Amino acid sequence: MTKTWLLALAVLGALVGCAAGNEAPGSPTMAKIRERGRLVCAVDGAVPGFSTVGPGGAFVGIDADFCRAVTAAVLGDPAKVEFRPVTAGERFVALNSGEVDLLSISSTHTLSRDAPGGNALSFGPVFFYDGQGVMVPKASGIRRLRDLAGKPICVESGTNTELNLADRMRELGVA
């Protein structure tokens, strides 16, 4: 049952999530993948559980497994995947330039990324949901986000997390 579900998910991802624009099985991206004989999949490469280089040099984690599943669905062999580690700031550039065929990296599905006037990306199925929170030492006395006004906050630059934090701090009047 799980293998059938994963294959269905992989096929759906391959059909709708392989590149910018509305890619179909006869699309230029799918033709390029088949002609090349491998799928180039962007992953972070440094997030345990999602994509890291494991023992023996092979990528492991759910993002790497998703790339292999899509590759198996498209090319019939999960080993015909080439992993390309990219940063959050590089991922959409790599996809839109054709350097990679598929993103399997944390990417928030937003209207601006989905819309034709934005990046016009075709998102595959969502298989991970997350949220944001802030951790501070209990002894700091900080109890609310507003208490962080004027204090440094560490967040990965170029991500929706950074934008969400900035928006929330502006709403609180402490930007």
Tell me: do 41 and 105 sit in the same domain.
Answer: yes
* pTM: predicted TM-score of the whole model, two decimal places: 0.68
Q: For the segment 117-151, what is each residue's pLDDT rounded down to a tens digit?
A: 666 678 877 878 888 889 999 999 999 999 999 89
Last residue of a domain, one of 82, 114, 146: 114
- The set of residues, in sequence order, having a beta carbon less than 8 Å from that of 102 and lying 6+ positions away, is 13, 14, 17, 18, 19, 39, 40, 41, 42, 67, 70, 95
The position carrying tokens 């929170």 is 133
Pair 41, 84: CB distance under 8 Å? yes
**b/e string for 52-74 if b means 16 or more Cβ within 10 A?**
bbeeeeebbbebbbbbbbbbbbb
* Domain-embedded: residue 132: no
Enclosing domain of residue 6: 2-114
d(CA 119, CA 51): 24
